[in-house]
A and B are shown apart, each in its own frame.
Chain A
């Protein structure tokens, strides 16, 4: 072992007369670990939260929307085949998106306007998994509800087809499956009274409720069959959008560029498709999230900075305390570099120990937050901490057959168990209240550890610990040995 290591490690462990130095080194290591653990936990929960939201968003949303500059376009099955032939594309589906006014039957007025997605059920399922979000649903235009409505309204009204309503849309306008809904597709001149208009209306029976769990979807859309819609809008064999699902959401921008190159509409201006990726349509949201993550990270990283200052002051104290040692080592022929190494090794050891402990602590707590293993009251954790505390107090009065190492072991086990109970999955509805958790539709706070970040944090904190040791170490190496040996 190099003499620098020998001395550095003894200084760190130093107990007897300078007992407070070893306590200070424990505090220094603890500071670094706490900082690292906090950064890992905070960033992992924020990451988990945004990741969970992204999953939710993308579960029922296309990754790319393809449109034509001219609005409606025909020959869409060819385009879909072209898109599906591209690499990394799972499926593409036709869509007509329009906004219609709705009038529930029995209501005198137009209650709301909603976005109506006219879809081909089979193709849509492959892109957005539509049917998975509608309970007891077979097809738009074949349903027990439609048959019942036809019987009920026989002779009075005709039923055009079935509609699936977003769960919150249905609640908002007050309809339940089986009810009839009037869709007003457009206003046409009224031949009876010239100068006024009359609505073009069709009756649809509510055949199911779409419940994706995402409020912004469930509160906006109604779904009808594509061919029914084409007839209703008088756009036979035309659509205005193609939805695309990819192998992985992150490939959206690359594939969207490819679509622009490979697929084209009628020659002339506007032949290049207009594509919108999920990142573009949700950019504001996710950017806000990223920003928040960075700000939080900086704040938490300040803990590490404090820990690093702590190391610097510990080492400065140490240098002052060890002036004579430095003097005699220099007299024995130790070089300035050797003296500097002694203190840099100490800073480095504190940094590395702190980083390892902090990473273990942070990852352990993240793991506890992620997986529900049984359900215990959190105060169990405090109860368990009482065990070593009581033992420690007892030791003052009676001699226990436990060594110092034994006590360390007991403390570690108790702390681990205690954290096991204290750190448990966090349920959002308990913190935010039912309504907000409904908006996010994440009832449990998800945690996602990004290992690259953990490694980066470790390297960064070790580097800053090293930097913190530089100043005291170079002070120590500059000490004049003659003066260092003069005192006493």
Chain B
């Protein structure tokens, strides 16, 4: 089954608002190879975030399958799905969602702690990654003491700390200015080159979309175009 990491087959997702059904994803089919950087684009409200949540096992689809290396993640029960997210997926959102009471180091160590690693193991690993994203001076700072770009870099470090197979980024630079955005993009590409991790990035940013290995365009709940 070649080197496809992810296979999405006929994926449907509808939201139910009391009585009416709102279909968002209407039969998505796509494949993602290992170590690929894929950009997902589309109009606002088309269902990009919804797709990303399903790819990360954060929500369950109305119908269809998401296979990771041939295994359907929605065949897992809730606890197994939690463990899958913890080990194999790293999320980065438009908003950083760092825990405000915790330091940068503790925030980055959190996925390791959730995996029940020993605190010092998790913290050492977190320190490495913060070093890698260039924040070694900021270990003990709270999110409120960091700039927007720094916060997003901490969030990226957090997504990577458990060495996930896939990093799912939902408009990771949507809140950042041009210059900071580019720095964050560079960081993503360096990480990809360094760790061979797969990136699926939802974005409105043209330069980022151009730079990606592949572009997936969503229109009306379906994949309209793959480049």
Contacts and interface: CB of A to CB of B under 8 A. Distances in A.
Contacts of B89: 333
B101 A14 contact: yes
Say which size band chain B's interface belongs to.
20 to 34
Interface string A293-337: 000000000000000000000000000000011011111111110
B119 interface: yes
B82 A6 contact: no
Interface stretch (A257-265, A418-426, A480-488): A480-488
A338 B106 contact: no
Interface of B: 49, 53, 56, 58-59, 78-79, 82-87, 89, 91, 93, 95, 97, 99-102, 106, 110-111, 113-115, 119, 142, 144, 158
A478 to B, nearest CB: 12
A7 B101 contact: yes
B169 to A, nearest CB: 12
B114 A332 contact: yes
A378 B100 CA distance: 46
Main secondary structure on A side of the interface with B: helix
A481 B58 contact: yes
Contacts of B79: 335
Nearest to B95: A488
Interface string A71-111: 00000000000000000000000000000000000000000
A480 B60 CA distance: 11
A6 B106 contact: yes
A12 to B, nearest CB: 10
B85 A333 contact: yes
B58 A331 contact: yes
A132 B82 CA distance: 79
29 contacts: A3-B110, A3-B113, A3-B114, A6-B102, A6-B113, A7-B102, A16-B144, A17-B100, A17-B144, A18-B100, A325-B99, A325-B100, A328-B91, A328-B93, A329-B110, A331-B97, A332-B85, A332-B86, A332-B110, A332-B114, A333-B82, A333-B87, A333-B115, A334-B86, A335-B78, A336-B82, A481-B59, A485-B97, A488-B95
Contact of A10 (B78, B87, B102, B158): B102
Contacts of A327: 97
Interface string A1-23: 11100110011011011100000
B106 A332 contact: no
Contacts of B97: 324-325, 327-328, 331, 485
